[in-house]
Chain A
Amino acid sequence: MSDAAKNRVLVLGAQFNRVEKSGTLPVQEKKSFWKRNTNKLPGSIKAVQSKGSQDHPTSPSSSGSPSPPGNTISSNPEKMRGKIQSFEDYTSKTHDAWCEDDDDVEKVGERVGSVIIQEPTVKVIRGGDIRTGILSRMKKKHNHANDVRPRQAPSSSNKEHTVQPKPLPLPPHAEIQLELQEQEMLKLERFGKILAGPTTDLVILRQYSWSGIPAQVRPTTWQLLSGYLPVNIDRRQSVLDRKRQEYYNLLKQYYDTRHEDIHQDTFRQIHIDIPRTNPLIPLFQQPAVQETFERILYIWAIRHPASGYVQGINDLVTPFFVVFLSAFTDGELETYDVSKLSKDALNTIEADSFWCLGKLLDGIQDNYTFAQPGIQHKIHALKDLIQRVDAPLHHHLIKHNVEYLQFSFRWMNNLLMRELPLRCTIRLWDTYLSEAEGFSKFHLYVCAAFLMKYSERIREESDFQSLLILLQNLPTGNWGYKDVELLVAEAFKLKSLFGEAPKHLQSR
């Protein structure tokens, strides 16, 4: 499999290079996008979820690779086809905010682009890869033409060793593993093609992303789906440069106000919450990371006075931070030592996280304004939905005086982040970012599916206290990608059956 797949990647890579051909760059430079991807092919994927993944000792190339996203859903082709059709219908109907944003971004891009387009870095970024762009910028800065290469070249030659299988007969489970790798590779190819531009079709990108984004292309894909990165590849670098600079300016302008009377409560709350953000993940216990979070949250809060900072928003920064960090390292992310990063790299992660967090929160701001109406509305909708789709569960809760508010408030306020391991949240957000209103609407159906998943278990408890203790500590510690995929598939079903048919199965 590896030979075939490798060939495909090489062919594809060549195609990209042709697209990217500018004549001003050395060949090796232009290939860097693909180099990076090939060096990170399933052989070396080290995504956040590596703990939950199935390593296979005989196949080093599979180490740390996630269970292939979309596997669960796509295992039934009939079902999958139905799903995609209706999903296509759905996305085609809801093609809105992203495009407006892009138009906006493109206009500015046109303004700035004409100047910056001359820089070699922009050509590199054409592949849709941020890290390559940043690395080459750093290289440029240091004026050492070969700074970047030593890092990439050895790993790509490593790949030669690891990906090429020995022609020995493989045990059946190893073959399955390889098949999964092949699917993974195909998936990566599809993403590579669409990300490479010249203009990324967001409708297609959302379709691909819905069932999981390969870790290698997740940073770029999330930025595109968030509406942060423009679809037009020529404008990406200039927009990134501009937005990052804008963020640094905001910091310069406002960060010193954090001790002023009107803002000190906000900053104090953020400052209290930061050490309590994912306290068990070493990455977030590093002072440099905590300071980054404080700045992001503070600047966001004072620019959004209607809600300000609300506890829980701190959690929402973490997926962005981890995913954007993943563009800079192949290593384990949750234990990554950020002092290994250059200051520039950390700054870009911070700025990108800030803007993407802002895009997310724009869609769910009523979750955090006074009296949190968005959450109250969704809790009510959750109750209504469960009543229709799982009446026994609903009646069990009511019979024991359990109110939905008592357990689902946190689900809504923190987008289930407190209930799921971080690796699962990241996978879940692949789907949320692909949905037109993922965080604001689709999340409701995910919560319903989540509750129903434990329906039986919940109905085993027969008094208020044990019910509530269970509901506040649902056993998700071992969850992996597969569980999330089942969850979003169920949620999609609920949305299709009930979301657009409010009377369906309505009692009375």
Chain B
Amino acid sequence: MGTKDDEYDYLFKVVLIGDSGVGKSNLLSRFTRNEFNLESKSTIGVEFATRSIQVDNKTIKAQIWDTAGQERYRAITSAYYRGAVGALLVYDIAKHLTYENVERWLKELRDHADSNIVIMLVGNKSDLRHLRAVPTDEAKAFAEKNSLSFIETSALDSTNVEQAFQNILTEIYHIVSQKQISDTPSSNHPSNNVQTIHVAPTTDSDKKKVNCCNA
């Protein structure tokens, strides 16, 4: 479950959203534990995992919240968008309906998440080539139109899973570090609305401070 290393430079909260059964939990388990479960249990409410990666010699700890896809849970799960700096919006390339619902999920984010949240559209189950229902180009165009990044993944055969998380975390990192530069000299106390992103010193001693973005 994530890394044992407790030292990190940045802690980013990322949410996984999208329709039920598109493979959110398996993307998470592939990324954090390198596991895939063909028949994993449905997620109830939210589940949580972490993993750290390196970007520009900095350690970035991703705190990932996997949410339940069913409509009924939205009232509960939207509370988890608070403080999130990134969102992976997942659909199933073999189920067109899950792609159609992406619009609804974007609205969810607009309503409940920080307006600066970085969103990546993820077409999962790319291994199901013969069942593809959503053309790559179409999704790509949609993503561009809505200023989302885009990637197709397969949690089953691991294609692009690492890349997807790496990309979104790097993107967030760049935004944050640029903000830091622009905010200098008071880089430790950003004056504007970046309260969702907490920049932790490299030392272990300030872990508690970092945790306040879990709220």
| Chain A residues within 8 Å of B, Cβ to Cβ | 269, 272-273, 275-279, 285, 307-308, 310-312, 314, 368, 370-372, 375, 400-403, 405-406, 409-410, 413-414, 418, 463-465, 468-469, 472
Contacts and interface: CB of A to CB of B under 8 A. Distances in A.
Contact of B212 (A279, A372, A401, A465): A401
A414 B43 CA distance: 11
Across chains A and B, which 7 residue pairs bring their CB atoms closest together, nearest first?
A409-B45, A279-B39, A272-B21, A371-B75, A464-B211, A410-B44, A401-B214
Interface of B: 1-2, 6, 20-21, 37, 39-42, 44-50, 63, 68, 70, 72-73, 75-76, 79, 207-208, 211-212, 214-215
Given A272-B20, A285-B39, A310-B70, 20 more contacts: A269-B70, A273-B42, A276-B42, A277-B41, A311-B44, A311-B68, A312-B42, A314-B42, A371-B75, A371-B76, A372-B76, A400-B211, A401-B211, A402-B214, A405-B45, A405-B79, A406-B46, A409-B46, A464-B214, A472-B48
Contact of A414 (B1, B44, B72): B44
A403 B46 CA distance: 12
B47 A472 contact: yes
Contacts of A403: 215
17 contacts: A269-B20, A272-B21, A275-B39, A276-B40, A278-B41, A285-B39, A310-B70, A311-B44, A312-B42, A372-B76, A400-B211, A401-B212, A401-B214, A402-B214, A414-B44, A469-B1, A472-B48
Contacts of B40: 276, 279
Contact of B75 (A370, A400, A468): A370
B50 A310 contact: no
Contacts of A371: 75-76
Nearest to A413: B44
A463 B211 contact: yes
Given A401-B211, A401-B214, A468 B48 contact: yes
Contacts of B1: 469
Contact of A310 (B6, B72, B214): B72
B46 A465 contact: no
A401 B40 CA distance: 28
A363 B2 CA distance: 40
A418 B76 contact: no
A439 to B, nearest CB: 16
B41 A276 contact: yes
A409 B76 contact: yes
A310 B47 CA distance: 17
Contact of B44 (A269, A278, A400, A409): A409
A479 B41 CA distance: 20
Nearest to A371: B75
B20 A311 contact: yes
Contacts of A285: 39
A145 to B, nearest CB: 45
Contacts of A418: 41, 44
Contact of A405 (B76, B208, B212): B76
Nearest to B44: A410
